[in-house]
Amino acid sequence: MKKRLAVVKTSGIVGLVFWAFMAAGARAEDAPSADAAKKKTREAISIEKDKPPTWRERWAKRRQEKRDYRVHFTEGFLAQEDGDYKKAIRSYERAIKYNPSCASAFLYRGYCQYRLGEVGDAILSYQTAIQMQPELKMAYYHLGVALHSQRRMEDARAQIEKLKGMDEALATDLAQVLEGGSERPGNGGKQ
């Protein structure tokens, strides 16, 4: 009897294994030691982990991922900071997939596309960001830079006018870019 109590007190799982052992008709003297019970429990748990997920588990995981688009956005931002623009674009696209109304994901995806030379795609990304969030001033700035690189000067100058009402300094920076200055004058081009 003492052995049974000692085993049950060691841990809840060990106690369950002991009682399962006893329910099978074994004698208390044949009960597994605490270490043996833990080993059998770990084996049972690892067998459970090796089983493929059920459709309900897969569905629950997908639901969780949809809620957490921010993880993909953050991965994209970190990849962008490291200069891995292709990886960043993939991450931003996943963020967009899970939250199609995230204007910042479109903005940053456009920035990465521009850096890779995909200027047409970048322009579309910037325009989408502006449609979703008209007060996103960096989208106007980067759209102006991208339009300038395609020699669409009138469209690029129109971005200056839109920026003047939002951020005069950013409008001035964009005007300097369009006049032939560097792509990132002042603080305007900072992400």
Name the burial class of residue 65, with classes exposed (0-12), middle (13-18) and buried (19+) by CB atoms within 10 angstroms of its CB: middle
| Intervals of CATH 1.25.40.10 along the chain | 59-178
CA distance 11 to 73: 43
Contact 91, 79 (CB under 8 A): yes
Is the pTM of the predicted complex or chain greater than 0.75?
Answer: no
What is the mean pLDDT of each successive set of 10 residues along the chain, which is 191 residues long?
Answer: 41 47 49 64 59 78 71 90 96 92 96 96 97 96 95 93 93 91 48 44
Contact 72, 94 (CB under 8 A): yes
pLDDT of residue 7: 39
What is the third-level CATH fold of 59-178?
A: 1.25.40
Query: CA torsion 126→131→134→137, rounded to 10°?
Result: 0
pLDDT of residue 66: 59
CA distance 137 to 91: 23
